[in-house]
Structure 1
């Protein structure tokens, strides 16, 4: 299964954003209290398990616990905050995003392939 780094500080986010110039970054914004987010998180994990060779870095942001990071992401990639939300960042810019029930393993695979 691909490794996922939990981002908890704005500094960690800035470093991850910077690294997206060299390698795509997939950010999953997760609300730990929301059943829809729990479903999307399961889909995210299925993608990670079934696509171990995906050419990207993967990050998790818990939006309640790390609100400043979540807000900074929304500002830096110009994507209105929602959760659950998945954002593919390339060259420090949003390439693709999806929210709620649109976050599925199949949708992620189609975008990543």
Structure 2
């Protein structure tokens, strides 16, 4: 799978703009947490871009970019969790999940509902 690294606040505005034309996924990952590593590996094993249409995935190392993680929580009105996925569409978080609630099938269902 092709993650786009999320490393600075300027990218958040780009993500909002991108989400006007296609959904965007943010994966907030703690490189120090075994649960986060397991959730990431589980998602990557099942990842099938052809079932997600134009969804663009971004990856945030929240240990390295902790303040950016806080900004995401504030900007998209979600409580910070780790690991956490946020699905952004039309500039808003339309779905989020954390820990072992992160799953490819749920994500695919959410993306499909956006296209309906």
TM over 0.5: same fold?
Answer: yes
Runs of 4+ aligned structure 1 residues displaced above 3 Å come to none
- The CA distance in 2 between the partners of 1:103 and 1:5, in whole Å, is 19
Query: Is residue 34 from structure 1 mapped to residue 33 from structure 2 by the alignment?
Result: yes
- The aligned residue for residue 56 of structure 1 is 55
For residue 12 of structure 1, give the secondary structure of its aligned residue in structure 2.
helix
Identify unmatched segments of 5+ residues in structure 1: none
Identify unmatched segments of 5+ residues in structure 2: none
In the alignment of these two chains, the number of paired residues is 111
Per the TM alignment, residue 103 of structure 1 is displaced from its structure 2 partner at its CA by 0.7
Higher mean displacement: 10-19 or 84-93: 10-19
Q: TM-score, normalised by structure 2?
A: 0.86
Let me know the Cα RMSD of the aligned residues.
Answer: 1.5
For residue 52 of structure 1, give the secondary structure of its aligned residue in structure 2.
helix
Query: Is residue 12 from structure 1 mapped to residue 35 from structure 2 by the alignment?
Result: no
